[in-house]
Amino acid sequence: MPELKGRCFCGAVEIQLVGEPVAAGFCHCTSCRQWSAGPVNAFTLWKPSAVTITRGAHKLAEYSKTPRSFRKWCTSCGGHVLIQHPGWEVVDVPAAMIPELRFEPGLHVNYSETVLPIRDGLPKLADFPSEMGGTGTVLAE
């Protein structure tokens, strides 16, 4: 199984990822845009068992705006590390944290909230896939 490493901005916190992400794409929701400080957030979703914090766990802080997401970052540099989504049984590791990962997005979620329309041929879901509690509604590009 392939192993990848990720790290926060300063390198104080490192993670190891085993295998492949279960999904990857772009989120356009307001929360992700505010968290990432960008117009869109590139995500990779992993099974919790595939993600291990290998260095600096004591440097992690956590914030939960809703019970759906537990966002963690490095207290030294403020760099994002991961987002736990226990209800969906996945961990989101921002794609930018994994320099060796070949990012292959499969969809856009929460596209009804976009501030940066993107024409890339990928499905644009209004919210989330139906298996994640969303409507599964696909919007026109």
Residue 1 has pLDDT above 80, yes or no: no
pLDDT grade for 75, boundaries at 50, 70 and 90: very high
pTM for the full predicted model? 0.94
Domain layout of the chain by residue ranges: 3-139
* 3-class state of residue 103 by DSSP: coil
Backbone angles phi, psi at 51, to 5 degrees: -115, 125
What is the reported pLDDT for 2?
86
- Positive or negative, the CA dihedral 19, 20, 21, 23 is negative
Domain 3-139: assigned CATH number: 2.170.150.70
What is the reported pLDDT for 4?
97
User: How many residues are listed for the chain in this entry?
Assistant: 141
